[in-house]
Structure 1
Amino acid sequence: MRLFDFSLKVNGFDIDKAKLALAKIQAKSDIDFESYVLHQKKDIISYHLEHNSFYKIFGKSIDLNHWNSVPIMTKRHLQQPLEQRLSDDFSPKNVYVNKTSGSSGDPFIFAKDKWCHSLTWAEIINRFGWYGIDFNTSKQARFYGIPLDQKGYYKERLKDYFSNRFRFSVFDLSDDAFENTLAKFKRTDFDYINGYTSSIVQFAKFLKRKNSILSTICPSLKACIVTSEMLFEDDKELLEKHLGLPIINEYGASELDLIAFQNINDEWQINSKTLFVEILDENNMVLPNGEEGRIVITSLYNKAHPFIRYDIGDIGVLSKNSTIKKPILKTLIGRTNDLVVLPSGKKAAGLTFYYITKSVIENDGNVLEFIVEQLHIDTFKISYVSNNALSNADEVNIKREMIRYLEPAIEIKFERVEKLKRSKAGKLKQFTSHLN
């Protein structure tokens, strides 16, 4: 039995019809595809202007013949009761409802109509299929958070059962926990790994300490898909070596869809079939491919709830080789609300700052993981988990490198902790600015 497809159908998601619809979109020629995107953009805006009272007010100045007249939507525009944002004939009872993780600092409840969500699953299934993964038959080793309350815990375990996966909690990353994880891999024919980047990286570091390669312990494994957190190049090399698998980078947003997925040519291919992705400057003007800006996304099918020119809060760059049908995300730089702002007025992406520190702090393998916080305009704190405390020489070296890359008038504090704070979902936020 195709249990995963069956579970989608039981919940009202017509996955068979969605797969056929997606295949027809994919088969369009380049010229027809451009017409398709133009039609879908106009169609989704027209629908919400007619059927959604929230969007009628929000988009009252829209000229359907001029895309730039469509206002930019942010998470804060959507932080009001869901019922006030739903289109006519939709209610919380006949849509897919979920909540964003809040990793951006702006959590909210959102909705997708069931056809839109069916297409989301069709896109995800298609992309995983590039690597021979079939959700109905392929066993998943899942590194995700799990609710700690009894009802939420067993609900997720039931979903895991129907989704043919086993979940490893990311809230305990100790060697004892990883020994149990390794034992499970030894006795289970997993086909692939999927989960939060930081947790899988910690598991790979554990394997490195044991001088082990996971694919020799669990030879049925085909691939590892990391998601939700940044994947740095040196971490990717670590994963490739000690998992012994292709490492595939996924970028998505629960309120939207799968946004980009690493293809077999090692390109981060954007989902252009159900989404329209733009890179905008500070004045909301579209930037040429190759230039860095804000990632703004339109959901082409969500009629229950408008996500039109929605600023997701990330900064990225489209490759110059992108086309309308096959856009390529060259770089995902970080979140707009996590910029480093220095006393001189200089700004830098938070994850760039984190990366500078990472190259110094993890050299000898003592530090297992760390986060960076900006407490004040001139003060940063590095919280870290390690086998041994950083020496004075280590701290001096880190400070020197940070000052060299940033500027002199900054203070760096260090705090060794037993465990880093993760979100309720289990994500690790690598850089946080506490500036308003």
Structure 2
Amino acid sequence: MNKPVMTSFYTQLVSNVLFRLHERLKGHSTYAMLARLEQSQWLTAEQIANEQQRRLQAFISEISHKSPYYQQLLKTRGLTASDINTVADLQKLPFLTKQLITDNQQALCSGPQQQLQRYNTGGSSGVPLIFYMGKQRVSHDVAAKLRATRWWDVDIGDPEVVLWGSPIELGKQDRIKKIRDSLFRSYLLPAFEFTPAHIEAYLQQLQQLKPKMLFGYPSVIHQLALAAEARQLSLAQLGIKVVFVTSEMLFEHQRQVIERVFACPVANGYGARDAGFIAHQCPAGSLHISAEDIIVEIIGDNDQVLPVGESGEIVITHLQTQAFPFVRYRTGDMGRLSSEPCQCGRGLPVLAQVSGRTTDFMLTTAGDKLHALSLIYVLRDLEEIRQFKIIQHSLTDVEVQLVAVAPLSSSLAEQIISQFKQRLGADCNITLKQLDTIASLRNGKHRYVESKMDY
């Protein structure tokens, strides 16, 4: 069972009062979902599977009546909601892809689009995706994250430093959000640029803030740990209890360095802005799937579901996406399920392995490391750009491959080049190459950034 969480009075105030009020004012059902998830995690695997099946039936019934896309899909295939009763029955439905979402945004909505929250992915596959979320989906993501956070004896309200790069977060640093984050003791540090000055400032801030947890990209936290080690700066005395990493592949050498420098465990998480909070590592080491509301299928090269233990593409059905359904959504990530129960005692299924996601650093002409997402965000929201790939050949030579809806205008080309030069250096030669298509990798994914530099 859960160990008692040792929390300060202020943390309890935030968790039990302030954040609850915050979520209620936003119309979210976060804490009701959290209470359900904290109970269901201790059910047996069979009981959780039964709960999942029950929720699947209710989900399919709802979207079959409210989502025009799924109304038409079921009709075309001669199906009704009653034909989808089990996880195996999902195979009667086709996969959902980024392109299908892009082509059917309005039809997918189960209600007025303007009442939903608009989101877009970081474009790590080279194809940014615009989609929508309802309050149930947002509430579930927060609740699932809170449940996993509590596994490590930390909670909302404990001091937290977030090393992140999404402009969705960074663009909201207005007065109200700053006050809110200050109340919740969550401190956001931009993860794009890693010049010596930035690194020095971040290390100083960590020593001043003394957070109980870190959250961010493994590559960024790894680089910060290496910088501290090079300066012979001890971070063990900060008292950080856990480092949460997500959004990228966590490599073993990164885990070892982070755990050594911060003197605490690293908790890996798997999820995506589009697919949801899918799985999180428990203290016993297993990556547990939030299976009460998320169905994971592993798909082989022939698009058939693979047995447990075999590796293939991860396909997600999110049962809290009634407002904008994600049914059999192809993530493009590769992984496999485990048949072994976890020693922690939770009945939640285990994702044994996730592979295929990395976020690289690039080098500026000054030799400083730059998070690749800083360049991706230059391109991802441009309506004219359908797909892209960034290749660094040398410190002063970067090629940007683009698939666009039409030939680029000179003003747009100059805008892209200017933005890249601002980040990589004024003396960096940026070459734009417009192509009809960008070749994918063997697993079907598009590598969005490639550095030919050795560093």
- Interval of TM-score (by shorter of Structure 1 and Structure 2): 0.7 to 0.9
* Residue of 138, 156, 164 corresponding to 1:117: 138
> Equivalent residues in 2 for 1:89-168 (5 A)?
90-135=111-156, 137-145=157-165, 147=167, 152-154=172-174, 157=178, 160-168=181-189
Give matches, 1:255-404, under 5 Å: 255-321=274-340, 325-334=347-356
**Residues 302-359 of structure 1, C-alpha deviations (whole Å, 9 max, x = no match):** 2111111111111111123269943212221115xxxxxxxxxxxxxxx6xx99xx9x
**Shift of residue 110, structure 1, vs aligned partner:** 2.2
2:252 is equivalent to residue 233 of structure 1:
yes
Residue equivalent to 1:50? 65
| Distance 1:233-1:430 versus aligned 2 partners, 3 A rule | farther
Q: Is the 8 A contact 1:368 1:384 kept in 2?
A: no
Say which SS state the counterpart of residue 132 (structure 1) adopts.
Answer: coil
Question: Among residues 211, 215, 232, which one is paired with 1:211 in the alignment?
Answer: 232
Distance 1:24 1:111, change over 3 A: farther
What residue is the counterpart of 1:178 in the other structure?
199
Q: Whole-Å Cα distance in 1 between the matches of residues 393 and 116 of structure 2?
A: 41
Q: 1:14 to 1:244 in 2, by over 3 A?
A: same
- What's 2:442 paired with? none
Residue of structure 2 equivalent to 1:17: 32
8 A Cα contact 2:125 2:447, kept in partner? no
Q: CA deviation at 1:104?
A: 1.8
Distance 1:369 1:233, change over 3 A: farther
Structure 2 residue runs without a partner (length 5+): 1-12, 362-366, 373-389, 396-423, 431-444, 451-455
TM-score (norm 1): 0.73
User: Which residue is 1:72 aligned to?
Assistant: 95
Q: CA 1:368–1:10 in 2, change beyond 3 Å: closer, same or farther? A: same
* Offset of residue 132 of structure 1: 1.1
Identity %: 25
**Mapped pair 1:36 → 2:58:** no
Q: Is the 8 A contact 1:146 1:156 kept in 2?
A: no
Which secondary structure does the structure 1 equivalent of 2:327 belong to? coil
- Cα 1:383/1:169, change in 2 over 3 Å: farther
| Residue 68 of structure 1, CA deviation | 1.7
Q: Does 2:107 correspond to 1:84?
A: yes
- Contact 1:369 1:384 survives alignment (8 Å): no
- The amino acid of 1:100's aligned partner reads T
Kindly provide the CA deviation profile for residues 125-153 of structure 1, in whole angstroms up to 9, marking residues without a partner as x.
01000111111x21111101264999644
On the 8 A contact 1:289/1:322 being kept in 2, the answer is: no
Higher RCO (C-alpha 8 Å, min separation 6): 2
List runs of 5+ in structure 1 lacking aligned partners.
Answer: 336-350, 359-365, 372-379, 386-416, 422-428
Deviates more, 1:159-168 or 1:119-128: 159-168
In the TM superposition, residue 30 of structure 1 has moved relative to its aligned partner by 3.7
Aligned residue in 1 for 2:440: none
CA distance in 2, matches of 1:146, 1:301: 23
Measure how far apart 1:382 and its partner are. Answer: 6.1
CA contact under 8 A between 1:223 and 1:247: conserved in structure 2?
yes
User: Do the aligned partners of 2:314 and 2:332 also contact (CA within 8 Å) in 1?
Assistant: yes
Aligned length: 358
Query: Is the deviation greater in 148-157 or in 9-18?
Result: 148-157
1:244 aligns with 2:267: no
Give the AA of the match of 2:165: G
The normalised TM-score by structure 2 is 0.70
In the alignment, the residues of structure 2 paired with residue 149 and residue 127 of structure 1 have an alpha-carbon distance, to the nearest angstrom, of 21
Q: Deviations over 1:86-107 (max 9, x none)?
A: 11xx224543432222212232
Q: RMSD over aligned Cα, in angstroms?
A: 3.5
Instruction: State yes or no: 1:192 paired with 2:207.
Output: no
Distance 1:258 1:10 in 2: 23
CA contact (8 A) 2:279 2:289 kept: yes
Deviation readout 1:219-275 (Å, 9 max, x if unpaired): 3x1111111111111111111111222111111112232111111111111221210
